[in-house]
Amino acid sequence: MQMPTLVMKFGGTSVGNSEAFQAAAGIVRSARGDWPRLVVVTSAMAGVTNLLLEGAAKAVQGQVDVFHQAAARIAAQHEAVIDALLVGPRREQQATAAQLKQEIGNLLAEFTNLCQAFSVLGEATPRALDALSGLGERMSVRLLSAVLEAQGIPAQPIEATQLIVTDRHFQDAHPDLAATTLSTRRVLEPLLAQGRVPVVTGFIAATPEGIPTTLGRGGSDYSAAILGAALPADEVWIWTDVDGVMSADPRLVPEARTIPVLSYREIAELAYFGAKVLHPKTIRPVIEAGIGLRVCNTFNPQHPGTRLVADAGSKRNGAIKAVTAIRKQSLVTIEGRGMLGVPGVAARTFAAVAATGTSVPLITQASSEQSICFAVPYHAARQVVAALEEAFANELSRRDIDRVWASDEVVIITVVGAGMQHTPGIAGRVFSVLGERNVNVIAIAQGSSEVAISLVVAEQDAETAVKALHALTT
């Protein structure tokens, strides 16, 4: 029988400076008492990935000084942790610190070499950007592993290019879970059997040929879930800088509180509709493997955080648990009397949108079939409208479709709670409280998942709407 196995993931703020590294190491040390098999996944230090990508973008424009400045800032950020936690009077401490600084320097040399190539070519391919954007994680694992070793915890830095196998969809690669399971067990099981703690890069992976890929921004959560499913682990804990999943964004609602328990379906809706705690794709491997999931605060480790449970174990009393907001959206509308009863309009609409590479988070259609309305990111609205006008050029010329247009900036507000669809009065309470605050609802959508109602409001009404709806949470 396999001993209990835990995968822990630390986000960028959880390894943001020397104090955060110290806190993360303390959490690992405490967990080893209950979890003899422990795998740690870490993000890059806070801000590092942004510096890397900004340096690359400026290099393409020929601004070579920016990436050199970024390299210097990243080096200083990592060396500050080394100097604070790893430099000591003993010769072996000095050797470890010197070796780490050399390894960080080598990785930053890769960064500057890539940026130099970008500046010469005037472009950066997705494949090259994947090689560049994972450098922060490659630095972070070396640092966290050394900090653990310095505290008497046997650790081993591992680059996930050895573990997670993906397709060649650079920047947002899709994992091959069967191949990943084989490689993960082959590499990690011997280390776990020796009592070592593998410290694995989040976010990055590789093709079967070993070409580096990434899982999309925020993909370290996904990395932890994939590795948890592959081992398999008993639980996955996501360590961040808040006390679990909150009932609303505390920047908008100061009285927002931690939700103790959420179902997988509820957290999937929250992750999709703007909650920043979990990467949206994290949920799937955890659900499929039947693994427990917790969200905890690195800086308040005694707090129980939020525990995720299967749908069957969740209370389906229709209560509203959380309110989220997705900002910087636009509503695109296709309308015309000639659309009535004409098959294929929706299919052609979303084929045209998909061709632009744009994601659609919300769709609503009038029962008269005379209009289709859907949300897209505000920055993409003009491109989407142009694509639709091209796709329906004949219908527009015949006036079967009157117009295609995009709204000003709007916000999608979503209320989440299991069983709302079958609870009388929930929708009435939602719209009553908004009406009392003079908030106009532009569009409404409820999915068949039963756990969320989404509505669209003007950008200037978003804060009022979130605060009003949060008052309904239980």
| pLDDT tens for each residue of 148-191 | 999 999 999 999 999 999 999 999 999 999 999 999 999 999 99
Tell me the average pLDDT across 419-438: 83
**Cβ–Cβ < 8 Å for 45, 78:** yes
Total tally of structural domains belonging to the chain: 1
pLDDT at 315 over 60: no
**Which is higher by pLDDT, 367 or 60?**
60
Take residue 152 and report the two structure tokens written for it.
């008497």
Is 274 domain-assigned?
no
pLDDT digits (tens, 9 = 90+) for 202-224: 999 999 999 999 998 668 999 99
Domain holding 49: CATH number?
3.40.1160.10
Tell me, yes or no, whether 70 lies in a domain.
yes
pTM for the full predicted model: 0.85
Q: Tell me if 396 is assigned to some domain.
A: no
Asked, for residue 219, whether it belongs to a domain, the answer is yes
What's the rounded mean pLDDT across residues 384-388?
Answer: 96
278 in a structural domain: no
Residue 147 lies in a domain: yes
Parent domain of 113: 5-241
Whether 20 shows a pLDDT value over 90: the answer reads yes
User: Does 284 map to a domain?
Assistant: no
Strand partners, 33: none
Q: Is residue 163 part of a domain?
A: yes
Rounded-to-integer distance, Cα 320 and Cα 299, Å: 28
